[in-house]
Structure 1
Amino acid sequence: MDKERLQQLNIQLKGMAIEDAIPFVLKNINGRKVFSTSFGIEDQLLTYYIEPYADFVSVFTLDTGRQFNETYDVFQQTLEKYPSLKIETFFPDEKDIREYVHKDGINGFYNSIESRKECCRIRKVVPLQKAIAGAGLWITGLRAQQSANRETMEYLEWDEVNQLVKFNPLLHYTLDEVESEVKKFEIPVNSLYAKGYLSIGCAPCTRAITKDEDFRAGRWWWENGKKECGLHIHAAKNN
């Protein structure tokens, strides 16, 4: 998509309420629209706002095979809250998993950053690419407050890797605002959240955090530096 057009849309989106921003973007971006949910608190709030547009947005999740039981619980609770909502699940390729385990071991991701990134690629990135193939718009629950490398994001960004527009409706929400709306609308939340799991990924790679730790400190806690799984590779601004 033309970068100048994205800039114009971003200017219009500034200050726009989320209930207005979502239909505005759906109208102005061409192609198939998809929304990825991991059932974290941000995605749960976003599901609430997207559900009225379920006929126009395909909702999907990635099942890595190493998730918490509590994540499956909130998956089921979400389907029960929104009976008409369909959530498609994408799984990693069995052959890729077998080869990884044979080479690196069942928990090889602890051995090196390279091995961990390969596990994320197999279990997350490859299934994601299948889920968003041919889409024109990918809606995410990313917030600027989540990590330093997300602070420079825009509401709408061109994703060069996946060749589509990425839409971050909750970009300027604070965590307090997310929690407040989730409570107000009685939205189901992963029970691990109240136990300090603010960012929930695979069970072997996620721990609870203390109140003084960074939002994503519980993800791949044995590693240092910027920690991402490869799903959201943030490029430079569109200007």
Structure 2
Amino acid sequence: MTTIPTIDLVDALAAEYADKSPSEILKLALSQPGEIAISFSGAEDVVLIDMAANLGLPFRVFSLDTGRLHGETYQFIETVRKHYNIPIEICFPETEAIQQLVNEKGLFSFYADGHQECCGIRKVQPLRKKLATLDGWITGQRKDQSPGTRNEIPVVQADPGFSGPGKQLIKYNPLANWSSSDVWNYIRLMEIPYNPLHEKGFISIGCEPCTRAVLPNQHEREGRWWWEDATHKECGLHAGNLKK
């Protein structure tokens, strides 16, 4: 039977690795027992994929296809797959749930009643289904990404949003202490692929209807769900970040 770290061990690892490099934290994650995978969608995640490839350890990558991504994002996913010669496990939402939402509320209901319902169907449910098959996942979250929801994330944590009775899911955030500049310095230095939308003023990129370019000196998350309060800009994938 696979032995997954206990809460006490997770807390101990978080303290021990709090100031370690992203590569060291990633090596820890990939060396843990059980099924572990990197969640891939943006620039940070490709940095993690590149680091994992350089570590030489086996690793898995999955990505969520919401059905509403930019054309450039789909091209980006394929570019990464070919660049690293790796399979990318694509997760799709349930067709019936999407049909019911769109038929009842139209294609842009989130502008009127918030993004949570649509994100729940297109992102959270597929992610929950995927994570049910894993013991841990690796994310590209950074503390400076969101002023109200990510500034206290640890490098290792028991995932409060997707753990359940009899199962504890571990989340690894190797880039928690990095800044956007750190990420882009790495991308340029290592000459790794990135989404071409970044060249058009997009920084944080999600679904096409809910993402827009930002102006100079705007925070990167201002381009996501811009019609909503800045302290609630989580789609549900990292719901544990939201303070009650």
Provide the TM-score with structure 1 as the length reference. Answer: 0.91
- For the pair 1:17 / 2:21, whether they are aligned, the reply is yes
The alignment covers a number of residue pairs equal to 232
Letter in 1 for 2:92: F
Aligned to 1:232: 238
Runs of 4+ in 1 over 6 A off after TM superposition: none
Deviation for aligned residue 1:26: 2.7
Equivalent residue for 1:57, pick from 56, 59, 62? 59
Asked whether the equivalents of residues 158 and 171 of structure 2 are also in contact (C-alpha less than 8 Å), the reply is yes
Pairwise mapping of residues 28-39 of structure 1 onto structure 2 (< 5 A)? 29-38=32-41
TM-score by length of 2: 0.89
Letter of the structure 2 residue corresponding to residue 229 of structure 1: C
How far apart are 1:7 and its partner, in Å? 2.2
Match of residue 178 from structure 1 = 183
Quote the residue 1:87 is aligned against.
88
For 1:99 and 1:236, how far apart are their aligned partners in 2? 28
- What is the alpha-carbon distance in structure 2 between the residues aligned to residue 26 and residue 73 of structure 1? 27
1:134 corresponds to: 133
Deviation, structure 1 residue 234: 2.4
SS in 1 for 2:174: coil
Structure 1: which amino acid aligns with 2:240? H
Could you say what secondary structure the match of 1:166 adopts? strand
Q: Percent identity?
A: 37
Which deviates further from its counterpart, 177-186 or 220-229?
220-229
CA contact (8 A) 2:142 2:173 kept: yes
- Matches for 1:182-197 after TM superposition, within 5 Å: 182-197=187-202
How much does 1:81 deviate?
Answer: 1.1
Distance in 2 between the 1:13 and 1:75 partners?
A: 30
Measure the CA separation in 2 of the matches of 1:214 and 1:26. Answer: 32
Structure 2: state its 5+ residue gaps. 164-168
Deviation at 1:165, TM superposition (A): 0.7
Q: Structure 2: how far apart are the matches of 1:181 and 1:205?
A: 27
Contact 2:38 2:139 in 1 (8 A): yes
Aligned: 1:213 with 2:213? no
AA in 2 matched with 1:133: A
Rounded to whole Å, the distance in 1 between the matches of 2:145 and 2:79 is: 25
Per-residue CA distance 1:175-197 (angstroms, 9 max, x = gap): 11110110111111111112211
- Retained in 2: the 8 A contact 1:33–1:56? no
Alignment RMSD (CA, Å): 1.9
Change (3 A) 1:162 1:62: same
* Match of residue 152 from structure 2: 152
